[in-house]
A = this chain, B = another copy of it.
Amino acid sequence: MFYLLVSLKPTRSIMINKLVLIGAGNVATHIGQALYNQGVDIVQVYSRSLRSAKPLSKQLKAEPITDISQVQQVDAYLFAVKDDVIPELIAAFPFSGRIMLHTAGSVDMEVFSAKTSDYGVVYPLQTFSKQRSVDISEVPFCLEASNSDLAKLLEVWLRKISSSVQFLNKEQRASVHLAAVFACNFSNYMYTVAEDFLRHRQLNFSLLRPLISETARKVTHHLPSQVQTGPAIRADEKIMAKHLQLLTNAPEWQNLYRFVSDSIEKRHKKS
C-alpha cells in the first residue's frame, strides 16, 4: 500500500458574495443587473446624487448612498464611474485590503494599489444605454488582476455572466478601448452626420436603417477592409466632387467628407 504525501500550499480563499457597486450609470446598471441575476448580493449602490442612486439600488435591493465614506465592509467594490472620478473616490475610500475593481478601458488597475493588494479590471467591451437591454452573455469582458488568485476568481465569476472572457494587460486594454472609439463612437457619429444632413433636406433618417444594419452585419463575417464600398474606394472623383458641392454650406462636413475619402483612397491603394 502506498501513501502519497503531497505538500499542498494552501491558496488564499477569496470570494465575492457581497458587493458594493460604485456608480449608477449605464455600465453600473447593466453589470449590476447581470450580477444580481447571478445571485450576487449587492449591498449598496453609490452615486453622487440620491436621484441617480435610488432607481438602480431599488432594482438591486441595495441601499443607495451618496457619501463614499458610508460604504459597508464587503468582499469587493466595483467602480463603474467616469474615469476622472475614480481617483478621488479611491482617496476617500474608508477601507483597505479589500478586492477593488473598475470597469474602465483606459485606467490602470494600479490606481487601487495604495488601498489594497487585490485589485483588478473588468472591462466590458460594449456600448450600454439605459433605454436598451443588452445580452450581457455576449459581451466580451477584458480582465486584468493584480495576482493569480484574484485572476482565477474573476475568470470564474465573469464566466457566469458572459461567454467571452479574456485577460488583456493594460496596454492591450487601452488599444482595444481606442479601437472601440473608432468602431463604435465614430461610426455612430457618421450615422449622426447622415441624420443631420437628411433632416436639413426634409428627408427621413429611417430610409438609411436597412443600409446601416447591413453595413454592420457584413463585418460579422468579413473584415471591414475587405468589404469597403463607395465612391472613395472606386476613386470616383466625379461623385465625390458632387458630394462636396452639396456640402458647400456645411464646411465641417465637407472637411470630414474630404478627409475620410482621402484616407480610404490611400488605405486601399496601399493594400
CB of A217 to closest CB in B, whole Å: 8
Q: Mark A252-271, 1 if CB is under 8 A from B, else 0.
A: 10011101100110110000
Which of B83, B198, B236, B256 touches A260 (beta carbons < 8 Å)? B256
CB of B182 within 8 A of CB of A190, answer yes
Instruction: Determine how many copies of this chain the complex contains.
Output: 2
Answer yes or no: A196 CB below 8 A from chain B CBs. yes
CB of B257 within 8 A of CB of A263, answer no
A contacts with B: majority SS = helix
Q: How far is the CA of A223 from the CA of B191 in the complex (A)?
A: 9
Q: A83-B239, A197-B175 are in contact. Are A180 and B208 (CB under 8 A)?
A: yes
Q: How large, as a class, is the contact surface on chain A?
A: 35 or more
Q: Which of A139, A181, A197, A230 has the most CB of B within 10 A?
A: A181
Q: Mark A187-222, 1 if CB is under 8 A from B, else 0.
A: 111111111111001010101111111111111111
Residues of A within 8 A of B (CB): 26, 82-84, 106, 125-129, 131-132, 134, 138-140, 164, 168, 171-172, 174-198, 201, 203, 205, 207-225, 227-234, 236, 238-239, 242-243, 246-247, 252, 255-257, 259-260, 263-264, 266-267
